[in-house]
Amino acid sequence: MNRTGPLPAESLRSLVRVREPGAEDDSLVRLNRNERLQPLPEWFLERLRSAVASELLTGYPVADRVYAALAEAVSLDRSQLLLTPGSDAAAKALYHAYVEPGDGVVMLDPSYAMYRVYAEMFAGEVTAVPFENLDGIDVERVLAAIRPGVKLVMIANPNQPTGTLLPEDALLDVVRRALDVDALVAVDEAYYPFSGTTILPHVAEFPNLVVLRSFSKAAGLAGARIGYSAANAAVIDDLFKVRSVHDVNAFAMACAAEVLAHPSVIDDYVEEVRRGEQVLRERAAELGLAVPQSYANFVLVDVGARVAPALLVERLRERGYLVRGPFSTPPLESYIRVTLGPPAVMEGFCAALAAAVESGG
């Protein structure tokens, strides 16, 4: 780009702006962002409305109430927890606090796209461990990538967009190996409520383990921007140092506190997603489309034998549905990624999918 005026830091010069969702998507059903696809219950919204007193907006946020609820929910001390504006902000803070130019960063490939963006921003050297198939990642290859010089290992579990899950034993091997080379392991559990599998109880045991959680997915608070990290108090202190002050807003904290007080908001939605997944699996089987196992609120659908994924994504958009794809990273070239929601949403989508596939895409 031709520009005048001051240049940004060297590591930013080749970075491009991430695309923001735009209003042109408003009339479409968004099965492309892994958001909650069912409105929050009316009684819950009513509680949030009554939480909006003037002082909530006029004063700087006070986090005591939500930290107390969180500490109780996850059986950790407040010193082991840090609220962030989404789990994404925690991922960025990890790079900011731990990665210096040239330091090694290990991640799965494909995985949550921002891990690479932040690596570039902080000039980390990425080692990406590829998926050979969608049965899961080979943990031996992850272990082999964790060599001296690696400072950070980012593992989304379940991983996105693959939907795969590393079992606890394998993750603990990764954490131990990382400890040998003085690296931090971040296990990003943004989709935890859907998998029901967590490594969080182990943060007390390992000084190099940090677990990231999000209220954006099952709890349905993507717009409020709130998540948290759980780790050894020293790691939490480091993350605290790089955050911008008052970064989590008071309304987001009030929303999260209500979710923590009413876990049924999450549990009921997880159940809806399971039922919706059943619908999608049945319809996909009728269409002869394979849907690998997923531990999150999205699935990959192998459409490639019937229609080019790029074309299908376009045809689905014309029929009112946004999905993610096409993918260029192996082994995803023949897949689209579809966010799961309640059965009614999945029924509508499956009708559109059948029409789009049967019309030759």
Q: Is residue 220 a contact point for ligand PLP (CB under 6 A)?
A: no
Which residues within the stretch 117-156 sit at the binding site for ligand PLP (CB under 6 A)?
156
Q: Is residue 31 a contact point for ligand PLP (CB under 6 A)?
A: no
Cβ-proximal residue to ligand PLP, closest one: 86
Report residue 264 as tokens.
């049924």
Q: Cα 298–302–304 angle (5° rounding)?
A: 140
Report residue 47 as tokens.
């509680």
What is the closest distance, in whole angstroms, from the C-beta atom of residue 104 to ligand PLP in the complex?
21
What is the closest distance, in whole angstroms, from the C-beta atom of residue 5 to ligand PLP in the complex?
31
What is the closest distance, in whole angstroms, from the C-beta atom of residue 330 to ligand PLP in the complex?
19
Per DSSP, the residues of 305-344 read: TTS-HHHHHHHHHHTTEEEB----STT-TTEEEEE---HH
Q: Is residue 206 a contact point for ligand PLP (CB under 6 A)?
A: no
As a dihedral over the C-alpha atoms of residue 131, residue 132, residue 134, residue 135, rounded to 10 degrees, the angle is -110
Q: Is residue 112 a contact point for ligand PLP (CB under 6 A)?
A: yes
Q: Is residue 32 a contact point for ligand PLP (CB under 6 A)?
A: no
CA distances from 234 to 29, 79, 170, 204, 228 (A): 43, 9, 25, 12, 15
Q: Which residue lies nearer to ligand PLP by CB, 227 or 283?
A: 227
Q: Which residue lies nearer to ligand PLP by CB, 212 or 356?
A: 212
Residue range at the interface with ligand PLP (CB under 6 A); choices 71-79, 85-93, 169-177, 198-206: 85-93
Instruction: Give the closest residue to 361 by CA, choosing from 321, 311, 317, 289.
Output: 311
Among residues 106, 178, 190, 289, the one that binds ligand PLP under rule CB under 6 A: 190
Q: Is residue 88 a contact point for ligand PLP (CB under 6 A)?
A: yes
Residue range at the interface with ligand PLP (CB under 6 A); choices 13-21, 82-90, 120-128, 242-250: 82-90
Question: 293-314 in b/e burial notation, b at 16+ Cβ within 10 A?
Answer: ebbbbbbbbbbbebbebeebbe
Contact 213, 227 (CB under 8 A): yes
Among residues 40, 81, 86, 198, the one that binds ligand PLP under rule CB under 6 A: 86
Q: Is residue 193 a contact point for ligand PLP (CB under 6 A)?
A: no
* Radius of gyration of the chain measured on its C-alpha atoms: 21
- Residue 24's φ and ψ, nearest 5 degrees, are -65, -15
Among residues 222, 290, 308, 311, the one that binds ligand PLP under rule CB under 6 A: 222
- Provide the binding-site residues for ligand PLP, judged by CB under 6 A: 34, 86-88, 112, 156, 160, 188, 190, 214, 216, 222, 227
